[in-house]
Structure 1
């Protein structure tokens, strides 16, 4: 059976209340007992006292009626004496019944004997008075004075004895009351000691466990999340809270370890991306230099083609000057051949560089794509952190509600719940900040992926342009070789120069068009290469920012001590 804090408190109050109820019952019983004894003693002793005093009054009244009869001779006085005598005898009979002590019974017997003797003499005195025998009356009165004095004295002594007995009984009742007061005081003290002991025990069990929880939560708030579990020797809500905090510590350790691993992986990936982007920027610069060289050669080629066109035009206009210009044309055609060969080799080198650029761009695109996937995994981890923080916040809110229900006993528990709730809010805020950073990283990564995806297409276009330039140079080389061979045969074929010159003009015009197209494509390739270089710089900047973000994330999680 689970002994909750509420049950402990209820049990403690139940024990204390039971003790108070028993004490109240015992007090009520003893007070009733004392009151009953007091009532019984008071009632009986008052009756005894009244009977003794009335008996004393009866003796006095009998003497008064005797004197009255002897003085007046009134028969009513004699009847009154008889009535008083009967009444006093009834009181003596009642006294013999209610008095139980030997001394009292002896005193009553003596009073009864003295009263009988006095009443006998009183009767004789009334008879002497009725007979008007004054001498006998005087003698009887003198004889009756002795029993009268005796019975009067004994009744007074009996009254005093009853009063002393009443005082003694009252003293006994007072002693009993004092004894009961002492017993009640001792029992009350024992109940108070028991209540204090229960309170100290209950407070110690709760405060010790809560102190352990406060220290553990303080360590967690300070970033120390060790493997040590909180051990609470109880079977109540505090033990449940300790188990929940232990689970929270385990989950936080796992989560922070995962974040640390992810931060290290992110830092390594950003460093690799930075290196790759640097290599790609360097390769782009090399490609730009090569394309600029190709453009320069193409411009030279265009100038040569223009010069050749002018020569061919002059040749067509004047056959007479053909022989004179043949040597010069032959020389220039040789130079053009050499230039074409150089241009062809440059184009081949440019093609190789373009292929290498295409491979580097493709590799960079794969790296950036993997980085985007890692960023999404980190985003999922951050979502998990946010969910754990939200659950911890909800747990702290429930704990605060339970603490509020517990009232004063749950105030310390409410402080623990508030600290847990603040820690959950801080974790959730940190997770939101990390999620924002990861969102920025994902945005930059997506932009880098888009740029990388455009890079291969631009490189492919540049490669096609360079291929076309290579073909054009090959055509130029072939044509120049043909011109050179024709110039060697110009001496023998002057009649065919006119027709050949027309064909040469057409060929040169086509070469001019190809050369202009090659120049335009080369300029476009140069612009694309510059854009690619700018994109590489943007990727390098993004990778630098990603590296900074990874370092910031690592610095945040390094605050937690897991060992």
Structure 2
């Protein structure tokens, strides 16, 4: 009777204890562990109070064996219910820690009502979330930015960072596309303008060379005019000196002619007196008769000579008067010519001075034209270089546009890219970034230096360092 009552009390206590565990632990791991310990405790109590065999030692040995067997059975059941689940989850977690998301969790583990089931379901949700995020990251790596970012979990730091990165990439790719198009249009316009400027500069250089050649010819002609003016001035001065000498000679001639005229008057008077004396001698010879015939002949000859002398003196006097008139006229003409010659000499001297000044001005103009020609040629070279640089800039903008077209912000921009094409686009973008960095360094080292076309095809062994803040990232 006592043993039966004891069994009933043990069973009731076991049921009450299991009920309390059920309320407290809600069929968790602690609930299962508690049940195992309660059952073991009940078995121990029962085996201590019940005698199955007649021998007490045999009863204790049998009870101990049953307890050990029950413990082994309960440990096996515990391992199958809890341990196997945790080992499976541990294996999945280790695989996940190595970056392998190809994990499949069996439904039997996810349907468990215990903490192991909750852990399994949470691990499965985490794997699904990571897999979805990785798929989105892979889409970003292929340049596919058109997926709906609202499906991302804002509570997840990874999804928040991915969402912010996608928004940044969309904005950056759109801005770069617009900037590349604007740069392309501007560079093409700049190239056209530079070519027009270069063509105009070449025409200006040709015109400047023609003007310089004409100015050199003008300078040579002006120099010849200057030399001729100097020679003319010298000749005019010589003529003026000769005129003065001739004028002096004419004055002396006029004086001499006056003296001759006076002498002729005297000779004429002498001839008249000689004629009168000859007449008187002829009269006296006639009175003398035969003795005066010879004297009469002489007197007649003297009279003829006197008449001839008088006649010659009159002719000389007449010629002298005419000559004096011509000399006076010549003197008057020379008096009029001399001031004109002096004036001509002065004008020629002024022309020579003006020619010299003009020659100096032509030299200065020629020098300025040569400098202008040099500047025009330099501008032409700069324009050609600017045209080449703008063409290179246009090429780089096309390359940038081609590279940035890898990112597609809408499904209309979607294109199929193979892995090789994706790597090719990434290499192009890296090359372009490297080229921009080199160009930036050159501009920093020398502001006034003209940028040469950047080299294409530069490879970066270590890729692009993306450890940068938002401002640096937006620059690219």
TM-score, structure 2 normalization:
0.46
The structure whose residues are more often helix, as a share, is 1
